Amino acid sequence: MQGLLKLLLQNGGIISFILMEALCFFIIIHFNTKQAAVWDNTFGILAGNALEQRRKMTRFTHLPEVVDSLMAENAALKSELISRQMVRVHLLDTAYQVRYDSVKGTIRTAQYTVIPCDVIGNSVHLENNWVMLNKGKADGVEPHSGVISKSGIVGVVRHVGNDFSLAMSVLHQQVRVSAILRGHLGSLLWTGGDPTVMQLNDIPKDIEPQLGDTILTSGYSLMFPKNQLIGTVVGIDLPKGSNFYAIKVKLSQSPGASDQVYVVRSLLKSSVDSLQQKISHE
């Protein structure tokens, strides 16, 4: 108490000045219409700016939840879009019955489901590069599933744990991507060097590819859905004595810049695998 009294005695003049200023300010605002209007407008601007900053701060603190929500929504939309590429099968020959096609006597069944993931580890300068994802078996991720981004292809899931998974990057010697150029099937692989450029082989010399041609996934492999963007042609070489081009493809998705991706899991893989086993045993 004595300390408070001493403080008031030492600073009484300043405190009295502040109180008198506040009282005068109140009287001016309360009894003068123009000054009151100016104050109301100024206070409204200040309060609005403060609320806007508070809103931005609140949105920033909730940004991870917003990102997760958008990724889940995008995954659902991608799954719906990819699933429009349906396989038609006769009713008498299938056990799948998801929705009826407009063609009488056929049905359509979805081929893929999409799982949003965050990249938590990624290499681009090794001989064999890997991508670590924050989703695993508990989230439905399975080995041999394709990994894509909003801009292109990323890799193929190889090892799956309960909560995490490891995918071979497209910059891995064991990864071969079935690709299409002007309707012709080729094999895309990374030959080292520039991590943004891969090589497309097995394209016959009679089709005359052009710089800037678009390269898409073929859909022949269940790892990647059909017509997913891979990149564009940036180099064309026809080795002497060869009937096939060696084409350089600039990836639409830079492997080192993919932080949010989607695992594309085939819903028909087990059925296709069982058929292939039957063929191999004949």
- Assess whether 165 and 44 both reside in one domain: no
- Assess whether 19 and 135 both reside in one domain: no
pLDDT exceeds cutoff 60 at 8 = no
Q: What mean pLDDT do residues 105-131 have?
A: 79
pLDDT band of 222, cuts 50, 70, 90:
confident
- Summarised one tens digit per residue, pLDDT across range 77-96 is 666 566 555 444 333 333 33
Q: What mean pLDDT do residues 10-14 have?
A: 65
- Assess whether 51 and 140 both reside in one domain: no
Query: Count of domains in the chain?
Result: 2
The predicted model scores a pTM of 0.63
Is 204 part of a structural domain of the chain? yes
Most confidently modeled range among 6-15, 75-84, 234-243: 234-243
- Assess whether 34 and 141 both reside in one domain: no
HEC profile for the chain?
CHHHHHHHHHHHHHHHHHHHHHHHHHHHHHHCHHHHHHHHHHHHHHHHHHHHHHHHHHHHHCHHHHHHHHHHHHHHHHHHHHHCCCEEEEHHHCCCCCEECCCCCEEEECCEEEEEEEEEEECCCCCCCEEEECCCHHHCCCCCCEEECCCCEEEEEEEECCCCEEEEECCCCCCCEEEEECCEEEEEECCCCCCCEEEEEEEEHHHCCCCCCEEEECCCCCCCCCCCEEEEEEEEECCCCCCEEEEEEEECCCHHHCCEEEEEEECCHHHHHHHHHHHHCC
The mean pLDDT of the chain is: 77
Is 237 part of a structural domain of the chain? yes
Q: What is the pLDDT of residue 4?
A: 59
Is 176 part of a structural domain of the chain? yes
Is 32 part of a structural domain of the chain? yes
Q: What is the pLDDT of residue 79?
A: 61
Q: What mean pLDDT do residues 49-59 have?
A: 64
- More confident position, 258 or 42: 258
Is 80 part of a structural domain of the chain? no
- More confident position, 194 or 13: 194
- Assess whether 127 and 266 both reside in one domain: yes
Domain finish residue from 61, 76, 106: 61
- Assess whether 50 and 123 both reside in one domain: no
- Summarised one tens digit per residue, pLDDT across range 128-141 is 999 999 999 999 99
Is 154 part of a structural domain of the chain? yes
pLDDT exceeds cutoff 90 at 249 = yes
- Assess whether 125 and 36 both reside in one domain: no
pLDDT exceeds cutoff 60 at 108 = no
- Assess whether 161 and 258 both reside in one domain: yes
Is 34 part of a structural domain of the chain? yes
Domain hosting 33: range is: 2-61
Q: What is the pLDDT of residue 269?
A: 61
Q: What is the pLDDT of residue 220?
A: 84
- Summarised one tens digit per residue, pLDDT across range 162-203 is 989 999 999 999 999 999 998 899 999 999 999 999 999 999
- More confident position, 263 or 77: 263
- Assess whether 52 and 125 both reside in one domain: no
Is 198 part of a structural domain of the chain? yes
- Assess whether 189 and 122 both reside in one domain: yes
- Summarised one tens digit per residue, pLDDT across range 25-51 is 677 766 777 766 666 666 656 665 666
- More confident position, 21 or 238: 238
- Assess whether 205 and 131 both reside in one domain: yes
Domain finish residue from 61, 79, 107: 61
CA-CA distance, 158 to 180, in Å (whole number)?
Answer: 24
Q: Is there a contact between 217 and 224 (Cβ–Cβ < 8 Å)?
A: yes
pLDDT band of 98, cuts 50, 70, 90:
very low
- Assess whether 137 and 55 both reside in one domain: no
Q: What is the pLDDT of residue 86?
A: 45
Q: What is the pLDDT of residue 147?
A: 94
